[in-house]
């Protein structure tokens, strides 16, 4: 690995959800852990997220949803990634995601879901461990 | 992916290979230089525009508006948005894209965010190679956004054909008045946020400064008003940028600058390679360490030692038929 | 409080020093205190002990005064809860109007005294339920309202002359207010009798809540149009709820909550004055909204400080002549972000304390969060416990029997002062930037909030700020909580419903109303009457907002990291 290699992460807010406190806090933690974090702002469609991930060559997509629309939007992101041949990107999520929905989301290829109360270092460690550099 | 495939993908204008190559350039992957070598002949076609100015002056908003205008005129656009990396962690929050997402589904637009990654002069080197890769992918216009805070804005003139300096009305504490350094690099001035009070006064101030400028050549930088929110003034800005290109071409400056740039770049590469190879050659040799000790003990001086070591290296180099083609 | 004269002051001073040097020093040397220094979450130092010396500069009549009178530090009514209790108002809404109407009626049966409508996100952003951006979001986190037909169902069998209704609606506030007026008309209730509140606070949407549609200037016009319309026709209606709650929940400190909310308030008052309104004509209908967080005394002091500071701003800055223009009435919600997914039952205790703070701080209405806050929308049982919490405070504890019972506490008065002072410093800084809208555009307010949110999270992660059940006293938990699920079929039903409304109405009446609205939006007429006509013709929320989008444009907030 070259010394200037940096992990690049896209933090995205799909759908109409305006809860961005968690996304922004996570973004800062990843920055402080030495990663390059691209943030796209609110109200992103799955199409926009996937395009940004590809243009920016990110290693990780972090999806944040607290408005309950995850079952409609997360799988759609995964589907588009596969269509673009970009499903090598690690996709993780966070927010208010009921326990019962997690197995289903993992089936679609979301690697991990982090709920309320997750320490930021746990997220940093997870990414470091799962991004092949 | 093999370098040849990557290069072919870039030349065909595909996004994924281009995006990958940019990552390799940023990571100083040895294969990136090989790809750039193969791509070099296909570059030099895009009009490269630098946008710089104080934080929050509306650069990203303007870039988005300009992109819309270029697309209306049928031209494809590449955007490179550079944000500073944290000097502490080396990480970065790249937020310019927030304002550029409206073009994210347009096939004719490619947006890439970059952190400065701290290394000295690194921004200039990586950025110019990144711009070159996008150029090779066939974008007609490439816009590079850099924050106007110190060095990077000066480096932008080494990359861009046309430099647009953005300022805003008033001069609150967070908005530095245009500094002498930034004045000199502007080909076009924009006073953005023309909807705020004091825009006209700002224009006169800049014009007054330009009146005092002794060194000005045939191109007097125009001062334009824009509104990033509504797009007012943006078609005129794009017209002026085009006009500047025509001027560069007709005045012979484009060719002159091109030559100068190739010369600088060749020098830079040679200097870099020579130094690197010389040091590689010397590193760890006992006589090298001995010579250093002699200098430290004042038995010898660094001037003579440098001369001697370089001379010996050159002799050896000519005997071995040159260094390796490429390096890591 | 000038409770002491010069001589007594000196006596206290020397006794205090003796106490510090004697018993305190001795105790501390043997049993060190739990921390080197203590501070509130806003960073205000908390001393070991407060004495009359700490309130020395306080002048009773100037700084505290009497309840119901300027500067309202001690409350907005002369008798406060001895007269009428605060309004118990649980924020609720989900799925379609039918389900939410049932929940409303349940809450009223359980003794709730006001309504508070939570709309779903498509409604708040001006999309009909069949809009592509609404996919997966319809009815999920609030009730879906597309047209007057839905509003009729929402308030079915709820007499609007007898209940006050608060609607958390911002960018399309004018449309929902118009629908409310139209439903009332059908019930035979004229608009001058309607009581309630629309949130209508767009500035905090740009920085903390995210449901904006139009650019700032056009949004301000809609807001001042509502101010004008209501000042003539709806004397009992609160035309805006200037909200600190969302700013706080996005991560700000208590001081920042007061500062940024009042800075927004200043911008609205200025806009209305600039639009030609007399400050004493509209100011008494402004209302506020704050959160109630974990630090007990800082929160109580915050409410008092906010009231006093607003009164002074209205009088000194805007020259309000009438006392009622200076009177800050506010709603309070307990802080959702302090509630945890871990050991959810603990949340009942947190909410109890936070609710008590709001009452001691003199709130006019209150929402208590449910124990399942960090899991889902509340179940019926959870929301009942939350409501009972208020009722227990109101009827069992006796804290309501005297006005502003914590006044005169050296600590509370000193904290009240300090919060006011620090908030004023922020407001000055924002003034220097050119006011709240400019500070928002520069990203100043957003950055301050995010910075505080991040610092908080770091303190929690390091264990320095304890959250019981999360970073201390943690247990292994199964997932046993039976949380609420919104019927996934609601979206489909609602889409069918809006389509059938569109198919069955008089289309030419809708077209005419929308054309008239467009023309008005392009000019300078007050838009309220035009929106009201469109709503009466069953134009949908999405159609009305699309007309306005066409004229005003859509906005992207200056989102900063
Ligand atoms: C704060 C808050 C707000 C604030 C948001 C401020 C802001 N700018 O973010 C305000 C007050 C504005 C708000 C408004 C609303 N809210 Co709210 N809100 C909350 C609350 C109380 C806390 C969320 C929070 O910020 N926590 C602190 C952060 C740091 O934690 P977090 O987001 O959970 O993030 C952590 C993890 O989840 C994870 N994570 C999160 N994102 C990501 C991303 C990645 C990539 C990774 C790896 C990890 C990760 O890591 C973080 C660190 O631990 C929750 C309830 C709760 N206690 O969780 C309700 C809650 C989310 N809100 C809710 C609702 C309904 C709303 C509204 C829609 C109500 C309405 N009808 O109007 C509105 C509208 C908001 C909108 N525009 O979308 C519901 C959602 C219900 C559901 N999903 O079923 C909740 C659950 C409350 C409830 N029980 O009713 N809300
Ligand atoms: N009033 C007004 N605001 C504008 C105008 N152009 C941009 N803005 C606003 O200015 C703010 C900053 O805009 P950006 O485009 O992010 O500025 P920037 O120069 O790219 O910022 P950095 O990349 O952070 O240095 C945003 O809130 C924009 O909406 C304009 O013409 N008038
Ligand atoms: Mg920018």
pLDDT at position B265 is 86
User: Mean of the pLDDT values across residues A49-66?
Assistant: 98
Residue A9 resides in a domain: no
For residue B114, give both structure tokens.
Answer: 């970059």
Cβ(A66) to ligand 1 under 6 A?
yes
Of chain C, the end-to-end C-alpha distance in Å amounts to 44
Residue A22 resides in a domain: no
Q: In this complex, how many residue pairs, one in chain A and one in chain C, have their CB atoms less than 8 Å apart?
A: 96
Phi, psi of B78 (to 5 degrees): -110, 140
Q: Does B139 touch chain A (CB under 8 A)?
A: no
Nearest CA in chain C to B172: C433
Of A66, A121, A123, the one to substitute when testing ligand 1's pocket (max ligand atoms within 8 A of C-beta) is: A66
pLDDT > 70: percent of chain C: 99
* Residue C158 · residue C109 · CB < 8 Å: no
The CATH 3.20.20.240 portion of chain C extends over: 65-462
* Residue C402 · residue C75 · CB < 8 Å: no
pLDDT tens across C529-552, in order?
999 999 999 999 999 999 999 999
pLDDT tens across B96-129, in order?
999 998 898 999 999 999 998 875 544 556 898 9
* Residue C168 · residue C117 · CB < 8 Å: yes
Host domain of residue A105: 41-123
Nearest CA in chain B to A10: B94
* Facing C559 at nearest CB: one of B56, B98, B230: B98
pLDDT tens across C463-492, in order?
999 999 999 999 998 767 788 999 989 999
Q: Going edge to edge, which strands form the sheet with A8-12?
A: A112-114, A90-95, A60-65, A8-12, A36-39, B92-94
pLDDT at position B328 is 36
Ligand nearest to the CA of B79: 3
Does B3 score more than 70 pLDDT?
yes
The residue contributing the CA closest to ligand 2 atom 30 is B193
Chain A residues lying within 8 Å of B20, measured CB to CB: 57
| Strands (DSSP E) found in C137-198 | 165-167, 196-198
pLDDT at position C2 is 57
pLDDT tens across A3-48, in order?
568 999 999 999 999 999 999 999 999 999 999 999 999 999 999 9
The CATH 3.40.50.300 portion of chain B extends over: 43-251
For C65-462, CATH gives 3.20.20.240
pTM: 0.95
Chain A residues lying within 8 Å of C136, measured CB to CB: 15, 69, 71-73
For B43-251, CATH gives 3.40.50.300
Q: Report the interhelical angle of B30-39 vs B15-26 (nearest 10°).
A: 130
Q: Which atom of ligand 2 is nearest to the CA of B196?
A: 1
Label residue A2 exposed, middle or buried (CB < 10 Å: 0-12, 13-18, 19+): middle
Ligand nearest to the CA of B61: 2
Measured between alpha carbons, how far is C501 from C505 in angstroms, rounded to an integer?
6
Nearest-Cα distance to chain B for A67, in Å, is: 21
Total domain count, chain A: 1
Low-confidence ranges of chain C (pLDDT < 50): none
* Residue C94 · residue C486 · CB < 8 Å: yes
HSE value, Cβ hemisphere, 13 Å, CA-based, for B126: 27
Nearest-Cα distance to chain C for B227, in Å, is: 14
Residue A11 resides in a domain: no
Q: Which atom of ligand 2 is nearest to the CA of B55?
A: 25
Q: Is the dihedral of CA C200, C201, C203, C208 positive or negative?
A: negative
Chain C residues lying within 8 Å of A115, measured CB to CB: 341
The residue contributing the CA closest to ligand 1 atom 2 is C249
Nearest-Cα distance to chain B for A75, in Å, is: 19
How is residue B107 annotated by DSSP?
A: T
Does B323 score more than 70 pLDDT?
no
Nearest CA in chain B to A49: B104
CA of B145 to the centre of ligand 2 (A): 13
Environment of ion ligand 3 (residues, CB < 5 A): B 59-60, 96
Q: Do A37 and B94 touch (CB under 8 A)?
A: yes
Nearest-Cα distance to chain A for B186, in Å, is: 29
| Mean of pLDDT over chain B | 88
Residue A21 resides in a domain: no
Q: Do A18 and C210 touch (CB under 8 A)?
A: yes
The residue contributing the CA closest to ligand 1 atom 60 is A66
Which CATH number characterizes residue A88's domain? 3.40.50.280
């Amino acid at each position: 690995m070259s010394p200037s290699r940096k992990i690049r992460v896209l933090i995205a807010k799909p759908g109409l959800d305006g809860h961005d406190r968690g996304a922004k806090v996570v973004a800062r933690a990843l920055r402080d852990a030495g990663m390059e974090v691209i943030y796209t702002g609110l109200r992103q469609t799955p199409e926009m997220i996937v395009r940004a991930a590809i243009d920016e060559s990110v290693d990780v997509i972090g999806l944040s949803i607290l408005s309950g629309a995850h079952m409609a939007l997360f799988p759609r992101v995964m589907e588009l990634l596969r269509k673009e041949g970009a499903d090598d990107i690690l996709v993780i999520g966070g927010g208010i995601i009921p326990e019962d929905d997690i197995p289903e989301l993992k089936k679609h290829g979301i690697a991990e879901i982090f709920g309320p109360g997750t320490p930021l270092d746990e997220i940093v460690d997870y990414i470091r461990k799962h991004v092949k550099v | 992916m093999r370098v040849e495939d990557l290069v072919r993908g870039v030349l065909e204008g595909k996004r994924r290979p281009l995006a990958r190559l940019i990552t390799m350039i940023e990571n100083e992957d040895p294969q990136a230089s090989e790809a750039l070598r193969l791509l070099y002949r296909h570059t030099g076609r895009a009009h490269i525009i630098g946008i710089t100015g104080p934080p929050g002056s509306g650069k990203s908003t303007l870039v988005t508006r300009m992109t819309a205008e270029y697309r209306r005129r049928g031209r494809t656009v590449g955007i490179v948005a550079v944000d500073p990396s944290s000097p502490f962690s080396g990480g970065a929050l790249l937020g310019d894209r927030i304002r550029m997402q409206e073009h994210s589904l347009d096939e004719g637009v490619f947006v890439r965010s970059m952190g400065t990654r701290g290394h000295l002069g690194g921004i200039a080197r990586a950025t110019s190679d990144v711009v070159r890769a996008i150029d090779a992918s066939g974008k007609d216009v490439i816009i590079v956004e850099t924050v106007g805070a110190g060095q990077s804005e000066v480096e932008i003139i080494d990359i861009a054909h046309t430099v647009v300096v953005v300022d805003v009305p008033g001069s609150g504490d967070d908005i530095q008045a245009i500094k002498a350094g930034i004045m000199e690099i502007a080909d076009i001035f924009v006073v953005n946020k023309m909807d705020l009070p004091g825009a006209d006064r700002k224009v006169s101030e800049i014009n007054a400064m330009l009146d005092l400028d002794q060194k000005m050549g045939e191109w007097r930088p125009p001062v334009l008003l824009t509104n990033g929110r509504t797009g007012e003034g943006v078609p005129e800005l794009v017209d002026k940028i085009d006009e500047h290109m025509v001027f560069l071409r007709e005045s012979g400056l484009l060719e002159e600058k091109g030559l100068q740039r190739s010369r600088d770049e060749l020098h830079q590469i040679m200097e870099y390679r020579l130094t690197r190879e010389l040091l590689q050659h010397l590193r760890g040799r006992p006589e090298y360490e001995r010579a250093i000790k002699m200098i430290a003990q004042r038995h010898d001086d660094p001037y003579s030692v440098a001369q001697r070591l370089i001379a010996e290296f050159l002799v050896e180099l000519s005997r071995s038929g040159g260094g390796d083609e490429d390096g890591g | 409080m000038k409770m002491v004269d010069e001589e007594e002051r000196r006596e206290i001073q020397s006794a205090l020093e003796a106490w510090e040097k004697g018993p305190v020093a001795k105790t501390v040397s043997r049993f060190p205190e739990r921390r080197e220094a203590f501070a509130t979450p806003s960073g205000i130092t908390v001393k070991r002990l407060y004495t009359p010396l700490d309130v020395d500069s306080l002048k009773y009549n100037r700084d505290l005064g009497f309840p119901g009178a300027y500067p309202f530090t001690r409350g907005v009514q002369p008798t406060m809860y001895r007269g009428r209790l605060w309004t118990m108002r649980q924020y609720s809404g989900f799925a379609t109007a039918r389900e939410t109407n049932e929940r409303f009626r349940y809450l009223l049966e359980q003794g709730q005294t006001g309504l508070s409508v939570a709309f779903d996100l498509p409604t708040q952003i001006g999309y009909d339920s069949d809009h592509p951006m609404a996919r997966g979001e319809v009815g999920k986190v609030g009730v879906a309202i597309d047209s007057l037909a839905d509003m009729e169902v929402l308030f079915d069998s709820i007499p609007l002359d007898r209940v006050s209704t608060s609607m958390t609606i911002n960018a399309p506030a004018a449309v929902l207010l118009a629908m409310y007026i139209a439903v009332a008309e059908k019930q035979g209730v004229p608009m001058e009798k309607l009581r309630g509140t629309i949130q209508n606070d767009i500035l905090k949407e740009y920085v903390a809540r995210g449901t904006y549609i139009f650019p700032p200037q056009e949004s301000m016009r809609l807001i001042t149009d509502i101010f004008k319309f209501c000042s003539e026709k709806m004397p009992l209606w609160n035309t805006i709820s200037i909200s600190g709650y969302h700013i706080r929940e996005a991560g700000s400190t208590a001081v920042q909550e007061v500062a940024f909310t009042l800075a927004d308030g200043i911008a609205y008052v200025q806009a209305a004055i600039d639009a030609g309104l007399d400050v004493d004509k509209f100011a008494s209908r402004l209302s506020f909204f704050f959160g109630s967080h974990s630090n007990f005394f800082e929160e109580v002091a915050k409410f008092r400080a906010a009231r006093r500071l607003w009164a002074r701003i209205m009088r000194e800055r805007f020259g309000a002549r009438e006392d009622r223009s200076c009177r800050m009435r506010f709603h309070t919600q307990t802080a959702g972000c302090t509630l945890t997914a871990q050991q959810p039952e603990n949340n009942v205790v947190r909410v109890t304390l936070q609710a008590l703070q709001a009452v001691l701080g003199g709130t006019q209405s209150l929402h208590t969060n449910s124990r399942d806050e960090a899991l889902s929308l509340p179940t019926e049982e959870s929301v009942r416990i939350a409501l009972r919490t208020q009722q227990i405070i109101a009827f069992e504890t006796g804290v309501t029997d005297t006005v502003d019972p914590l006044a005169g506490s050296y600590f509370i008065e000193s904290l009240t002062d300090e919060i006011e002072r620090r908030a004023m410093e922020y407001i000055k800084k924002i003034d220097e930037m050119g006011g709240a809208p400019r500070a928002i555009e520069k990203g100043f307010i957003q950055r301050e909030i995010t910075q505080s949110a991040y610092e908080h999270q770091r303190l929690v992660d390091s264990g320095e700020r304890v959250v019981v059940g999360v970073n201390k006293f943690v247990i292994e938990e199964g997932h046993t909580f039976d949380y609420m699920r919104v019927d996934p079929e609601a979206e489909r039903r609602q889409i069918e419903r809006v389509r059938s409304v569109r198919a069955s109405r008089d289309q030419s009446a809708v077209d005419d109303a929308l054309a008239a609205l467009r023309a008005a939006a392009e000019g300078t007429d007050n838009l309220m009457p035009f929106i009201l006509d469109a709503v009466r013709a069953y134009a949908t929320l999405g159609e009305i907002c699309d007309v306005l989008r066409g004229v005003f444009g859509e906005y992207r907030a200056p989102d900063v990291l």
